[in-house]
Amino acid sequence: MSRQKLTVISSIPPGLLQCDARDLYKILQGPTLIHLVGDKAEPLFISTLLHGNETTGFQSIQRVLRETKRLPRSVSIFIGNISAARYAERHLATQQDYNRVWLPGEGDEHAMAQDVIASMRRRNVFACIDIHNNSGRNPHYAIVATQEEAHIALAKSFGPRIVYATFPDSSCSAVFSKWCPAITVEAGIVGDASGVEHVSDFLRYCISSDDWMNFSPESFALYHTVAAIKIEESCSIGLLGEDADIELLPDVDRFNFNWLDPGTQLGKVRNGRSSCLRVEGVDDTMVISDYLGTERGVLQTVKPIMPAMLTTDCEIIKMDCLCYLMERLL
């Protein structure tokens, strides 16, 4: 079954720190919250595998726990979509996206998320780190849902690039930000060893030290997500030459975190299907023509924009979005 209730345990099951994410279903019955006691009682909440094909977080947690004999701080680890991890999928067709269910709602996934929240609030959660990968080339960065100093300080401890995003407001870190410093970590492409190394170092630091709480205004880049570009369900998307309604450049993800001048080509629109693109954002008056346009079938930027999460994985684009668009705040 793809949908299962939350399991809560207080020790690491045999084999968990050695197994591949695809084999977690052999060890855990489903979404599992593991509470581990450390010297400081208020726990660091670490979430991983909300998307079953994003394994850097799980591998990093395995590495840190294998090397740690005594926890300086209590840690609560949520291992999310084990059913999807078995097949290296973001989520199964019968499931909701595990990173869009943290507000109250209908269905097993929403109930599971509320159980996690209740358990962590009872324990007076100290901070939240939700670990993800990108499907396209992006630098490592952190996402915050508020510009309060504690959240920025935690994000800055991961790296110099921080994205302030107020939507979707149903993500794990966005909801946890109501009660504690909370960030989403974007650790590059799955399989990149540097991502595992970076996240492992970051988790060790957050478990062993509270120094990150001493905020200092040293240099970092803060971006604001203003819009997401979506593909209508009725439309097809592919790479150049694949005879889809929207065809992207095969290296379109090279544009991530770069300012694009007006007229920058992203791909082509076939069959006059410019209506396949729509924009969602902080302002309900936004229209796609404010950002992207077509001229003689060429899909191109209309004004200077900075994208993130552009990918050539067309299945992920259909499940989530083509990209997010950002402006520079600091």
Give the tens place of pLDDT for each residue, 215-262: 777 789 999 999 999 999 999 999 999 999 999 999 999 999 999 999
Q: Is the peptide bond before 168 cis (omega within 30 degrees of 0)?
A: yes
pLDDT tens per residue across span 262-276: 999 999 998 777 789
CA distance 202 to 259: 28
pLDDT at position 4 is: 67
Q: What percent of the chain has pLDDT over 70?
A: 98
Model confidence at 213: pLDDT above 90:
no
Cα of first residue to Cα of last residue in the chain, in angstroms, is 46
pLDDT of 149 strictly over 90? yes
Of 178-182, 225-229, 285-289, where does mean pLDDT reach its minimum? 285-289
Amino acid at 12: I
User: Judging by beta carbons within 10 Å of its beta carbon (0-12, 13-18, 19+), is residue 262 exposed, middle or buried?
Assistant: exposed
pLDDT of the residue at 57: 98
What does the DSSP assignment read for 189-221? ETT-HHHHHHHHHHHHHHHH--GGGS------E
Tokens 């404010």 -> residue = 290
pLDDT at 3 over 90: no
pLDDT exceeds 70 at position 186: yes
Q: What is the mean pLDDT of residues 86-99?
A: 96
Q: Which fold has domain 7-219?
A: Aminopeptidase (3.40.630)
Beta carbons within 8 Å of 114's beta carbon, 6+ residues apart: 104
C-alpha 281/C-alpha 302 separation (Å) is 17
Residue intervals of the chain classified under CATH 3.40.630.10 are: 7-219
Per the structure block, which two tokens stand in for 167? 């939507």
Distance separating alpha carbons of residues 187 and 221, to the nearest angstrom: 17
